[in-house]
Every structure is written in C-alpha cells, then in structure tokens.
Amino acid sequence: MNDLQFAWPWAFALLPLPLLVAWLLPRARGARLAALRIPFYAELQHRLVKPERTRRRWPLWLAALGWLSLVTAAARPQWIGAPVQLPVSGRDLMLAVDLSGSMKERDMRIGNRLVDRLTAVKLVAGRFIERRKGDRIGLILFGDRAYLQAPLTFDRKTVRTLLNEAAIGLAGEKTAIGDAIGLAVKRLRESPRDNRVLILLTDGENTAGSVDPLKAADLAAQEQIRIYTIGIGGQRMVRGVLGLSVLGNSSLDEDSLRAIAAKTGGRYFRARDPKDLERIYAELDQLEPTSKQRQTYRPVAERFRWPLGLALLVSVLLALTLTRTGNLRHA
C-alpha cells in the first residue's frame, strides 16, 4: 500500500507567519500622489471603487496559495511505496586466495586438458560466490604480502570479476598465510560475531610475511572467526631424465592448515582436482548456509518538487498581476 507522508511536518507551524508579520509590523506608508478634484466623484465611486476592491482580492488569494505551497514543500512530502522484501545477510564471508608462484602448477584436470591450480580455483570458487545470495563476500589475495582486493560487499558479480582478473605472482612468489589471516581478522572484526567466516585456499606453506599463521589463528579464535582451510593441488609434476612425467613431493603444509582450522572451529579440506573443490564448496554451503530470513523496506520518493513548482508558478502570476495593476493605476 502506498502512502503520502511529510518528513518535516513541523514546517506547517510556519503557516501563520504572514499574519503575525502583518499584525506586529507597522504598515508601510504609501507614496503621496497628486490629487485631482472631480465634481462627479460620487457617480464614479460605485462604478470604479467596488470593482477595484474585488480585483484586489485576487493577489491576496494568489499570495496565500503561494505561501501554502512553499510551506508544503518545506515539509518534504514523500511518497512511501509498497514494502519490498530483502534478504538478510547470513554470513560475512572472506575468501583468501594464494597467488604464489607454485599456483602455476598444471596438475588440475578440467575436461580433457590440464590447467594450473589458480584456473581451477577461479572456476569452482566463482560458482561458490554466485550461490552465496544474501551474504557479504570479500576477497583477499596473498603472496609475499596479503592485499584486500574487495571489501565485504553484496556485489557478488564484482567479487567474482576481481577473482577472475587475479594473476599468479601478482602479490609475489612466496606465501604469507599468517598475513592473510591477520588481514581477514582486521576486516571481519566489525561484523556480527556469529557470522564471521574465512575460507583460506593455498597450495604451500608459510614462507613469507610478518605474522605466524598459528598466532594469527589464535587471534581469529578470539574474534570468533571460523576458518576453513583448503589445501590445493596434488603432488607436483616434474620431468624425468627419459622425458617421462613422474610425481614429486608437494610442499603443502597440511599439519599447519589443520591446526589453523581446529583453533577456530573450522575444518581442513584437501582438494586434488576440481571435483574435490566442487565437493568442498558444496559441503561449505551445508556448514555455512545462507540466511532464509527476510526484512522489508519501503522505497521513499521525494515529492517536494511539485508544491515548490506550484509556488514558483504562483509567484510569477502574482508578479504579473501586480505589475498589470500598477500599470493600470498609472495609466
């Protein structure tokens, strides 16, 4: 249901102001005009004076209408629209993605081709972001240091675009896991306590930064931030002497990632291929479901322009009326 209301209804208290001014202030003295004695004045009086008095009422009514319109505009009339349903954010979710040099390892298979780890993360994480309707999502990219790429926002499309534009080595070749957690804590500490979530994706161990990952996890636990850690990639592919591909050991520090998740009430996941990543994100949707609650708001449209425009129009008509009356008197 649509309603009309006034944001500042107290402005209508100004309506009697012209009457108070007329009552309190002395009348202005009119200019003395030359007098002309007319012997047949009584005969002209009933023909000229009465119509003139009648004509003088129109400027008064125009002035009253203009003042009423001006005061109405000052009271800020607003058109309140019908209630609109909005989703309530169930989570403030920060996504931290590793951009170190090891993310270029091509050990992830999508269809019939091998792709690097970051490409697989972009594909699966992008779908996850798209599903998180009603949540605020932020993006942290880290390498030698951690950088905030997108603050917490409802604009999931922009976050996904920024993730797709990320490039390996953009933040350096090393891995600052502790700095990424510390930056996420800084950005999430203003969020509601029950809704703070960090998803950390990395394929290595902490080799850079000024913050120890476990100490950063302790700080996150104090701030009631749940951290879900995801270890990406299988064992590295290396080229043998005979030109054959053999398996080498991965540098992934799974023990630290498990400890970080355990300290904060989260979980650790291992992703060896895009299917694992898809399964992990589906499980995260179950662990951290989006809110189904709703809140309503009513759109407000300002309508002060209509009475203000009427006041301007009346002012122009009043000016024209007074000018014409003055010209008739001097004619």
Local structure of 287: helix, strand or coil: helix
Q: Are 118 and 166 in contact (CB under 8 A)?
A: yes
Total number of residues shown for the chain: 331
Q: Considering the chain, what is the average pLDDT of its residues?
A: 80
Instruction: Return the pLDDT at 43.
Output: 58
Chain-centre distance of CA 139, in angstroms?
16
d(CA 313, CA 110): 69
Q: How confident is the model at residue 123 (pLDDT cuts 50, 70, 90)?
A: confident
Closest Cα partner for 251 from 94, 124, 119, 107?
Answer: 107
Quick one: which H or E segment has residue 307? helix 305-330
- Among 105-114, 121-130, 271-280, top mean pLDDT goes to 121-130
Instruction: Return the pLDDT at 42.
Output: 59
d(CA 89, CA 191): 11
Where are the extended beta strands (E) located within 16-88? 77-80, 84-87
Quick one: tokens of 11? 């402005």
Q: Are 258 and 103 in contact (CB under 8 A)?
A: no
Instruction: Return the pLDDT at 184.
Output: 94
Q: Is the pLDDT of residue 322 over 90?
A: no
Chain-centre distance of CA 295, in angstroms?
16
Report the percentage of the chain scoring pLDDT > 70: 78
d(CA 218, CA 227): 11
d(CA 141, CA 96): 6
Exposure b/e, 128-145, CB count within 10 A at least 16 = b = bbeebebbbbbbbbbbbb
Give the mean model confidence (pLDDT) for residues 171-187: 91
Lowest mean pLDDT among 95-104, 163-172, 202-211, 229-238: 229-238
Residue with tokens 């109405």: 72
User: Which pLDDT tens digit goes with each residue over 295-312?
Assistant: 666 788 888 899 999 989
Local structure of 135: helix, strand or coil: coil
Closest Cα partner for 251 from 97, 100, 120?
Answer: 100
Angle of CA points 277, 99, 191, to nearest 5°: 75
Chain-centre distance of CA 264, in angstroms?
29
d(CA 302, CA 324): 36
Closest Cα partner for 69 from 12, 115, 21?
Answer: 12
Q: Are 134 and 125 in contact (CB under 8 A)?
A: no
**26 phi and psi angles, rounded to 5 deg:** -70, 150
Domains of the chain: 3-82+298-330 (no CATH), 87-294 (3.40.50.410)
Q: How far is CA 48 from CA 31, 281, 329, in A?
A: 21, 91, 12
